[in-house]
Amino acid sequence: MTKLTADPTPFLPPQEIPVPFDISEVPQEENRRIVGEPLVGEEVFTPTDEERNQFATLMSCGKRTKVIDVLGHSVGIESLNVDDDLRIGLFTKEFRESDAYARAVHIATCAAGIRTIDGRLLYTPISQDETSEAVFRAKAEKLKKFYPVAITEIYREILNLDAEFAELAIKLGKLKG
């Protein structure tokens, strides 16, 4: 074992300190990579400006919009925010112990997430003073007239928006996968 000398204080004689390995065994050249450097054969993901803008502020992180086709009709949807989630909870409260609870969740989610159908707003507020809760309720009332096949498809697509955002965030290294 090789021994080195150390001088802990300038006033004491040097002491021998044992080294737990042979210095000659230390590799002279190391294979180092820069953090974030792609591995050999790894594709580099470059986000679009639109994808980059989704992370512009913490308040807008997670917001996604999309136009989907449902039974031949274009439907503009948007991901839900916390306010929407709370409204959905209040709307479905009266259905909690019934067989209609799942359908109430679908209707409420669609009311919160649908913006347009065939290019027209699902509900147009009567005045600027109409609260977001009143607009939500009016949209839900309108959606109660739709058939389950359309509501279920739209509901699934609204939920997929969060999954798509999470996938993007993982690709960008913003979320752990």
How do residues 102-119 score in pLDDT, each as one tens digit? Answer: 999 999 999 999 999 999
Predicted pLDDT at 101:
97
Residue 41 has pLDDT above 80, yes or no: no
Please provide the DSSP assignment of 98-146 as one string: STTHHHHHHHHHHHHHEEEETTEES---SSTT--HHHHHHHHHHHHTTS
What are the angstrom distances between the C-alpha of 174 and each of 17, 42, 45, 77, 160? 46, 18, 13, 24, 19
Predicted pLDDT at 155:
98
CA atoms within 13 A on the CB side of 115: 12
CA 122 – CA 114 distance, rounded (Å): 7
Predicted pLDDT at 24:
64
Mean pLDDT, range 141-153, rounded to an integer: 97
Q: How many CB atoms lie within 10 A of CB 63?
A: 16
pLDDT in tens, 71-103: 999 999 999 999 999 999 999 999 999 999 999
Which domains are present in the chain?
63-171 (3.30.2220)
* pLDDT level of residue 173 (50, 70, 90 thresholds): confident
Mean pLDDT, range 54-82, rounded to an integer: 89
Average pLDDT, the chain: 84
Residue 9 has pLDDT above 60, yes or no: no
Q: Which of 99-103, 130-134, 142-146, 170-174 has the lowest mean pLDDT?
A: 170-174
88 versus 176: the higher-pLDDT residue is: 88
Predicted pLDDT at 79:
95
Residue 4 has pLDDT above 60, yes or no: no
